[in-house]
Chain A
Amino acid sequence: AQKITQTQPGMFVQEKEAVTLDCTYDTSDPSYGLFWYKQPSSGEMIFLIYQGSYDQQNATEGRYSLNFQKARKSANLVISASQLGDSAMYFCAMREGNAGNMLTFGGGTRLMVKP
C-alpha cells in the first residue's frame, strides 16, 4: 500500500486566491512527522512546513498552513494568496518513528498559478 498519496497530479489556481493540495498517509506508528516540500523547475526541494503526529494545533508558516486531520489520516497543504512564484511541484512526505530517518514521499502535485 502507498504510504503517501497525493491524488491531484495537477492543479490550477488564480493568482491571489487560496488553494488546497491534498495528502493522505498510511502508518500504524503512533509517532510520525508530516512534511511538505516545494520543488521548482531548478530541482531543489524546499522545505515548507512540518506537522508532528502529537502536535495539538495545525502548523502554519506564513502563507502556508497544514490542515491536519489525524482520524482521517490527511495532511492537506493550504496556500493562501497564491503568487506566480508558487508555481512548482509540491510533495507531501512522512517520517515514521520506527523507520529510521528516511522520508517517504508522495507522487507530487504540480501547481500552476494563473495571472
Chain B
Amino acid sequence: DTGVSQDPRHKITKRGQNVTFRCDPISEHNRLYWYRQTLGQGPEFLTYFQNEAQLEKSRLLSDRFSAERPKGSFSTLEIQRTEQGDSAMYLCASRQTTGELFFGEGSRLTVL
C-alpha cells in the first residue's frame, strides 16, 4: 500500500496520560499536514511540515501538543496530559509541492 498510513487507528486512554500518533506519508511527498476532526465537524488544521521544518502551527495546537518530522519522512504527533476535549480523529495528509492532498484513514482518540 503506497498511501498515507497512520498508527494506531484507534487509541483509548485515560485523562492525564500521554499519547503519540505516527504518520507515514507517501514517500515522494515533501509536505505533511496534521488535522483534527471532531464528531460532526470538518477537519481543522493543526500543523504543517515541509521536509523536516515545521512551517505553520494553528492556535489549536496548545503547548500540550507537539509534532515532529525528524528526517523529513514520517511524523509523530504527541499529546501530553490528555483531556476529554482532545477526543477526536487525528488526520494526517501529504502532498508534493503542487498537487492534491492525500489523507490517511486517521487515528481516533478517545479520552476517558
Contact = CB atoms under 8 A, between A and B. Distances in A.
Given A35-B100, A43-B105, A93-B42, 15 more contacts: A35-B101, A43-B89, A43-B106, A44-B104, A44-B105, A46-B103, A47-B102, A91-B42, A100-B55, A101-B31, A102-B45, A102-B48, A103-B43, A106-B42, A107-B40
Interface of A: 4, 35, 37, 42-47, 50, 91, 93, 100-108
A35 B43 CA distance: 13
Contacts, number: 53
A45 B41 CA distance: 13
Given A45-B91, A100-B48, A100-B55, A105 B43 contact: yes
B106 A44 contact: yes
| Ranked 3 nearest A-B pairs via Cβ | A105-B42, A45-B103, A102-B45
Given A100-B55, A101-B31, A47 B43 contact: no
